[in-house]
């Protein structure tokens, strides 16, 4: 896989999973509404994917070392990967009661992070457990914090 595409894909995958998990856990904690959670997922899949794609685009341009083609490859692969990975979190919400869907989504997201972390570790000849553990801890921190923020927001209603 070309570096420009891999860069966009890895950023989109990671951002799509972590951002979507944070949003759905927080929205669930504050509203307990499947409709609100689905709306949050759609906003992440569209608005945040476009935002991140533009962010990668501008970041790559600012390095002044990439061709126009490479910049656009990173931009497009960021958008597509974030869009697709974010949308996968709608499936559990449609199939299960909301509390179960949130747990399934957390397991799904952490599994994807672990698998991609294993891939990264193998690419760089690193010890997989260190890379996987580091990335999972960060993802779990996001989930825990957003859960508590959602609980706190719910106290205002």
pLDDT value of position 126 = 94
Best CA proximity match to 57, nearest among 44, 77, 74, 81? 74
pLDDT value of position 1 = 80
CB neighbour burial string for 32-57, b if at least 16 within 10 angstroms, e if fewer: eebeebbebbeebbeebbeebbeebb
pLDDT value of position 157 = 77
Range of 148's domain? 3-154
pLDDT value of position 49 = 97
Rounded CA gap, 148 and 150, in Å? 5
| H/E element, 111 | helix 98-123
pLDDT value of position 97 = 98
pLDDT value of position 92 = 98
Q: Side-chain half-sphere of 92: how many Cα atoms within 13 Å? A: 21
Cα dihedral 103, 128, 125, 55 sign: positive
pLDDT tens, N- to C-terminus, the chain (157 residues) = 899 999 999 999 999 999 999 999 999 999 999 999 999 999 999 999 999 999 999 999 999 999 999 999 999 999 999 999 999 999 999 999 999 999 999 999 999 999 999 999 999 999 999 999 999 999 999 999 999 999 999 999 7
Q: How many domains does the chain have?
A: 1
């Amino acid at each position: 896989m070309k570096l420009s595409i891999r860069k966009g894909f890895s950023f989109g995958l990671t951002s799509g999973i972590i951002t979507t998990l944070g949003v759905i856990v927080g929205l669930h904690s504050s509203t307990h509404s499947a409709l609100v959670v689905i709306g949050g997922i759609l906003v992440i899949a569209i608005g945040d994917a476009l935002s991140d794609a533009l962010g990668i685009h501008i970041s790559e341009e600012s390095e002044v070392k990439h061709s126009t083609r490479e910049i656009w490859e990173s931009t497009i692969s960021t958008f597509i990967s974030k869009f697709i990975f974010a949308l996968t979190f709608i499936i559990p919400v449609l199939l299960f009661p909301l509390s179960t869907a949130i747990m399934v989504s957390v397991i799904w997201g952490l599994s994807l992070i672990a698998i991609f972390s294993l891939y990264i570790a193998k690419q760089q000849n690193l010890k997989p457990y260190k890379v996987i553990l580091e990335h999972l801890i960060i993802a779990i921190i996001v989930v825990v914090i957003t859960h508590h923020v959602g609980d706190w927001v719910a106290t205002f209603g």
